A = this chain, B = another copy of it.
């Protein structure tokens, strides 16, 4: 299985390389960067020394890259990925595309255009939303997978059983999410400057974060009707990890056992979802560097609300890990291949 990574110098790209280094089947062919072509990847990310002799190439080689690859992971900014996807599939119709950005995530392209402010230029693509646990059978058949956002993965996994089983009032969903700083990428800005972030927490993009419509579209699909949520992201002084605290009002007559049953039946056989049960408290550090999503839920009898909490590593289950999980599914190999490592703790 020959893999190329287009746009590999961001943290998600580096994490793909880290994980693929111990993937028994995959072989990394090309690694591209428009900003630093000709540089050895180990000079940009010295931790990868011993694992990648490769030098970054430029995308001018797309023809060659598409022909010689079985699958392309794309780590480009939105708007650019669909261009690569369009061209690569034209060059090599059997190639698989897994885009870590937003270009292929939306069924409704108008919503994409409204939130991302660019025209969608690959509307005819047949794509699957790669939240593996929810869409495994479609992923298996897919050529192009839109790999979910980090916040969305955590939030949807926490809320899906409630929404799908009609247990909560859809107008009452609030997601309060806390993310590590690596989610903001390796680009330099004051908001990721060490001394500014350290010993500090803040909210940002209230009501306007682009993962909002993504969560809404997927949950709406599960519910069978459109819904609108509040999604509030927060920046936490740590590099990795997302904790998603999700609130919703229980519908009348819903018992705690019905909630338990919804989670257990949805995820009871999922390797990468570890259910901590009713009353359980996910801890981001317990998932660090791994593809696990830890999940717990709480019923507040006083307010008749359910509070579902999920923890992931934003760079793994929230990005590179789930992308590899999807690749494994698409190529019909053991879904855990390259991902079956215990989290790094403490």
Q: Pick from A59-67, A103-111, A120-128, A338-346 the stretch touching chain B.
A: A338-346
Tell me, in angstroms, the Cα distance from A271 to B311 when the chains sit together.
35
Number of interface residues of A (CB under 8 A): 85
A286, closest chain B residue (CB):
B47
Stretch at the interface among A73-81, A133-141, A178-186: A178-186
Lowest 7 A-B CB distances belong to which pairs? Answer: A200-B285, A195-B346, A207-B300, A176-B176, A195-B239, A188-B188, A47-B345
Q: Which of A278-314 contact B (CB under 8 A)?
A: 281-290, 292, 294, 298-303, 305, 307, 309, 311
B180 touching A281 by the CB < 8 A rule? Answer: no
Interfacial residues of chain A within 166-190, with CB under 8 A of chain B in the complex = 172, 174, 176, 178, 180-182, 186, 188-190
Q: A195-B182, A198-B346, A345-B14 are in contact. Are A285 and B47 (CB under 8 A)?
A: yes
Closest residue of B by beta carbon distance from A190: B188
CA A153 – CA B12 in complex, angstroms? Answer: 32
Contact call A47/B232, Cβ cutoff below 8 A: no
Q: Are B289 and A344 neighbours in the complex by a CB distance under 8 Å?
A: yes
Q: Does A7 contact B (CB under 8 A)?
A: no
Expressed in whole angstroms, the Cα–Cα distance for A175 and B116 within the complex equals 30
Nearest-Cβ distance from residue A201 to partner chain B, whole angstroms = 5
- Interface check A92, CB cutoff 8 A: no
